[in-house]
């Protein structure tokens, strides 16, 4: 972005803090710990659900789920290395974060786009309607099992819209975290370069 007196070239804008009440180092540290906890829980529950749903089922959705679980584990390792780098002021441990989270963001964006496409296909909607009807029938709820298909179709569409809003908010938060953390890493590099 800009050269300064020491010859260091910034690639990320100065964003500031992740948490507005802390200084940048503590802000990145706290947000990284929160991200590690959330990602760890996601990996744990993804592992459980993949083993319960069917470990030997060869479907594209199952393969994509396993790929995303591997990506989550790689990001988890990267975040732990980032914490070590922040504590020891080791730029090698911090710089790997820029690449790993960027790859994760690109894959996440492609995953969101694929899910939105998948959720809007007629096959998915019909399968969802069938599943809802069977569920209501199994739980003996006559009010819902006798509803017309249009009721279920609207319910699936509403769920898809909620998913889209949730995905946009989560993606925006991760992008902001990425930018602020990369800004902090470049601040550290700039200080070490001086």
Other Cβ atoms closer than 10 A to 51 = 9
Residue 15, in any domain of the structure = no
Rounded-to-integer distance, Cα 135 and Cα 95, Å: 49
Please give the residue that has the higher pLDDT: either 188 or 60.
188
State the residue range of the domain holding 137.
Answer: 24-193
Rounded-to-integer distance, Cα 143 and Cα 57, Å: 34
**Residue-wise burial string across 152-190, b where 16 or more C-beta atoms lie within 10 A, e elsewhere:** beeebeeebeeeeeebeeeeeeeeebbbbbbbbbbbbbe
**Nearest Cα to 106, choosing from 146, 79, 67?**
67
Residue 165, in any domain of the structure = yes
Rounded-to-integer distance, Cα 15 and Cα 131, Å: 46
Structural domain total, the chain: 1
Residue 38, in any domain of the structure = yes
**Nearest Cα to 39, choosing from 77, 76, 86?**
76
Residue 110, in any domain of the structure = yes
What pTM does this model have?
0.79
Q: What are phi and psi of 148, to 5 degrees?
A: -70, 160
Residue 13, in any domain of the structure = no
Residue 17, in any domain of the structure = no
Average pLDDT, the chain: 82
Residue 7, in any domain of the structure = no
In tens, the pLDDT along 86-142 reads 998 888 899 999 999 999 999 999 988 888 888 888 888 888 888 888 877 777 776
- State in Å, rounded, how far the first CA of the chain is from the last one: 17
């Amino acid at each position: 972005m800009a050269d300064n007196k020491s010859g260091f070239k910034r690639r990320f804008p100065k964003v500031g803090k992740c948490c507005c009440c802390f200084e940048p180092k503590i802000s990145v540290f706290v947000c990284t710990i929160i991200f590690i906890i959330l990602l760890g829980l996601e990996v744990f529950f993804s592992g459980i659900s993949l083993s319960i749903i069917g470990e030997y089922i060869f479907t594209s959705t199952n393969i994509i789920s396993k790929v995303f679980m591997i990506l989550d584990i790689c990001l988890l390792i990267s975040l732990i290395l980032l914490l070590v780098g922040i504590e020891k002021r080791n730029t090698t441990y911090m710089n790997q974060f820029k690449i790993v989270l960027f790859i994760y963001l690109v894959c996440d964006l492609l995953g969101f786009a694929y899910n939105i496409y998948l959720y809007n296909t007629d096959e998915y909607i019909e399968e969802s309607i069938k599943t809802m009807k069977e569920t209501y029938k199994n739980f003996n709820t006559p009010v819902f099992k006798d509803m017309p298909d249009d009721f279920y179709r609207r319910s699936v569409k509403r769920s898809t819209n909620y998913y889209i809003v949730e995905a946009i908010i989560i993606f925006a938060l991760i992008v902001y975290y990425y930018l602020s953390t990369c800004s902090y890493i470049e601040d550290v590099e700039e200080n070490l370069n001086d």
